[in-house]
Structure 1
Amino acid sequence: MNTTLQRAIVLSLLVLLMAATRSHVFTHFTPVPDASWAVFLIGGFHLRAWARWAFPALMALAVLIDYVVISRQGIDFFSHYCVSPGYWMLVPAHAAMWAGGHWLRSRYEGASAAALARAAMAVVLATAVCHLFAQGGFYWLSPAVAEPTVAGWAANYGHWFLPYLGATAMFVAVAAIAQAVSEAVARHAAPARRHGRR
């Protein structure tokens, strides 16, 4: 399988994952949480060579899904309480996740305990920064928060951080397992291919 085909498969899976889970984004945590933050981190890891267009394409997909979900509720997109000026802070929020995946890939040399530790660190830090933009954008820029205060913002940040971190970590863990398994299969197949050539 060539690199372009691998990227195309990963991108297709990320599109399907976001489409399947983001449709519940306005009801927050359903039995299957929103995978969007994980999608951007995984995209940053696997799609670095396509970042110039893959990141904007995934960002556009996220907005399109939100538009469809809100419109189906019979609400004008720009009238929904989640679509305040703070909504557009999702661009740097998702960029933070992408950067976390990009950073992780730049230091990745194969599945190992050290790689797992770096992945855990990348997930926590990228999610913290992402949440800073996403939650902070809503809290400080949305008219839904009548009297924003630093204490209120900090409490709100803390209240939502762990659920978002947990959801993101869950999807990234599945991707990490898939990565480790694919590497193990490739290592196992390589000697067999060499033996078959003799």
Structure 2
Amino acid sequence: MTALTSRNQLIVGIVLAALLAATRSHHFAGLHHLPDASWAVFFLAGVYLRRTWVFPALLAGAAASDFIAITWGGVSSFCVSPAYALLLPAYGALWLAGRKYAQHHANRIATLVPLVLAVCGGAALCELLSSGGFYFFSGRYAEPTLAEFGLRLVKYFPAYLGTLALYVGCAAVVHAVLVGVTERSTPANQP
């Protein structure tokens, strides 16, 4: 993928941070029907944002959002456990999947194949780390088993993958429109 200008990366970064803050765990009452965009934010940040400091900054933003929601927003702290630390490698899997996809991106329809592979691969690893970590290491389940985890995976993963696909699909449409507008406004003899 052609690297975005610093200005465009800043815009994308602000949009992604705002999306994370607005949708994470339904912390804002007016947005309670908007699905959590955390997975998509980390994947898309990997695709579009070249600076590596953005990853820990987004992690801090997610943790701060959770802290604020629990401390002042009345949101349950059920998900905060020793397994919470596994969100770092889980979100890292999405970030790295986005970075890997960015290496293969081209403004062609054929780029959808590596996009789907990156989204599905990153999401599967993220789910195994985040949900698996919570199930086995949170202390919330008395006798965790692989069989029960498998059933939970089949029950919950499709919805998480669908939400990720929705946000990434929207981003792909916006990207295609912006690339089309830019290509039409650039004279043919300019690079």
TM-score by length of structure 2 reads 0.90
Matching residue of 2:165: 169
Displacement of 1:14: 0.2
Matching residue of 1:37: 39
**Equivalents in 1 of 2:109, 2:9: separation in Å?**
25
Matching residue of 1:189: 185
Residues 5-30 of structure 1, C-alpha deviation per residue, up to 9 Å, x if partnerless? 010000000011011100417xxxx5
Residues 40-66 of structure 1, C-alpha deviation per residue, up to 9 Å, x if partnerless? 00000001x212x10000000000000
**Equivalents in 1 of 2:36, 2:67: separation in Å?**
16
Q: 1:15 aligns with which of 9, 14, 17?
A: 17
Rg larger in 1 or in 2? 1
Q: 1:103 aligns with which of 91, 100, 104?
A: 100
CA gap of 1:177–1:74, structure 2 versus 1, over 3 A, is closer
**Equivalents in 2 of 1:17, 1:193: separation in Å?**
38
CA RMSD of aligned residues (A): 2.0
TM-score by length of structure 1 reads 0.87
**Equivalents in 1 of 2:9, 2:64: separation in Å?**
22
Matching residue of 2:132: 136
More helix, by proportion:
1
One-letter amino acid of the structure 2 residue matched with residue 165 of structure 1: L
Matching residue of 1:62: 62
What is the SS of the residue equivalent to 2:186?
A: helix
Structure 2 spans left out of the alignment, 5+ residues: none
Runs of 4+ in 1 over 4 A off after TM superposition: none
Identity of aligned residues (%): 39
Displacement of 1:31: 2.2
Matching residue of 1:50: 51
